[in-house]
């Protein structure tokens, strides 16, 4: 069965003015769709076509001959995750107790986490992603290049910011730090991060 472009979890203009409908129109309907369409073309008629997106990412991540499949599968997954990492009237600080205590343990407070995330997002050279992840149970901020993602490294992603230029150039031109600040102050969905954390904790306990 072919992979499909997941619909946005909100209206295209729901994140304005921090992310415009025009940005989302291009980013979701053109960039994201192109990754999904290319992935379908690349795996058509192969055994991979029957696997989950996560399986394809894991299987192809260490195989240089399958780099195109990895890139398009990971970007399909990353963008699904990115759209869900934001919500209208997002931003601010998390309220979930487990997430907050892990932030305190790993970073010594929310402000330090925010600083680390902003730094990772700003300093990723070229195209890539900033993430908050669990790595063997420990909360970390990481950045990845191009399509690379935490699943390929057996890490658990909680929330992500796309820092490819296509994510911000229409609204912010070259000012990536302003986009990252808007993401953290107005867009990031901490409830989604808390849900991903709770889901992982429940799965480990099962």
Closest separation between CB of residue 164 and Fe ion, Å? 5
The single residue among 124, 148, 162, 189 that binds Fe ion, judged by CB under 5 A, is 162
**End-to-end Cα spacing for the chain:** 30
Stretch that binds Fe ion, among 134-142, 162-170, 176-184, 197-205 (CB under 5 A): 162-170
**Nearest residue to Fe ion, using CB?**
162
> How many degrees, rounded to 5, is the angle at CA 155 between CA 82 and CA 130?
40
Region from 55-63, 108-116, 144-152, 157-165 binding Fe ion, contact rule CB under 5 A: 157-165
Q: What is the dihedral of CA 100, 130, 167, 40, to 10 degrees?
A: -110
- Nearest Cα neighbor of 183 from 203, 204, 148, 159 is 159
Q: How far is the CB of 161 from Fe ion (least distance, A)?
A: 10
- Measured in whole angstroms, how far is the alpha carbon of residue 203 from the centre of its chain? 21
Compare residues 60 and 78 and give the one whose CB is closer to Fe ion: 78
Which is closer to Fe ion, CB of 90 or CB of 128? 128
**Nearest one of 183, 135, 131, 184 to 158, comparing CA atoms:** 131
Between 164 and 179, CB nearer to Fe ion: 164
Sign of the alpha-carbon dihedral angle for 24, 25, 30, 33: positive
- Does 70 sit near Fe ion (CB under 5 A)? no
Tokens of 163: 């820092």
CA distance 172 to 170: 6
Nearer to Fe ion, 77 or 164 (CB): 164
- Which of 27, 114 has the CB closer to Fe ion? 27
- Residues touching Fe ion: how many (CB under 5 A)? 2
164 binds Fe ion (CB under 5 A): yes
Q: Does 83 bind Fe ion (CB under 5 A)?
A: no
> Residue numbers of the site for Fe ion (CB under 5 A)?
162, 164
């Amino acid at each position: 069965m072919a992979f499909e472009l997941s619909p946005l979890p909100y209206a295209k203009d729901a994140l304005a003015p921090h992310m415009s409908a025009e940005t989302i129109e291009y980013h979701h309907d053109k960039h994201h769709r192109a990754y999904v369409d290319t992935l379908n073309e690349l795996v058509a008629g192969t055994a991979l076509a029957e696997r989950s997106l996560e399986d394809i990412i894991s299987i192809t991540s260490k195989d240089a001959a399958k780099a195109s499949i990895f890139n398009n599968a990971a970007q399909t997954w990353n963008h699904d995750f990115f759209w869900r990492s934001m919500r209208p009237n997002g931003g601010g600080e998390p309220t979930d107790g487990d997430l907050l205590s892990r932030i305190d343990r790993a970073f010594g407070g929310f402000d330090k986490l925010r600083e680390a995330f902003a730094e990772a997002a700003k300093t990723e050279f070229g195209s890539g992603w900033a993430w908050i992840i669990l790595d063997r149970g420990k909360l970390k901020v990481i950045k990845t290049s191009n399509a690379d993602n935490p699943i390929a490294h057996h890490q658990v992603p909680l929330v992500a910011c796309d820092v490819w230029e296509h994510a911000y150039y229409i609204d912010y031109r070259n000012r990536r730090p302003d986009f990252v600040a808007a993401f953290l102050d107005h867009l990031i969905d901490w409830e989604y991060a808390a849900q991903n954390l709770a889901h992982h904790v429940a799965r480990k306990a099962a």
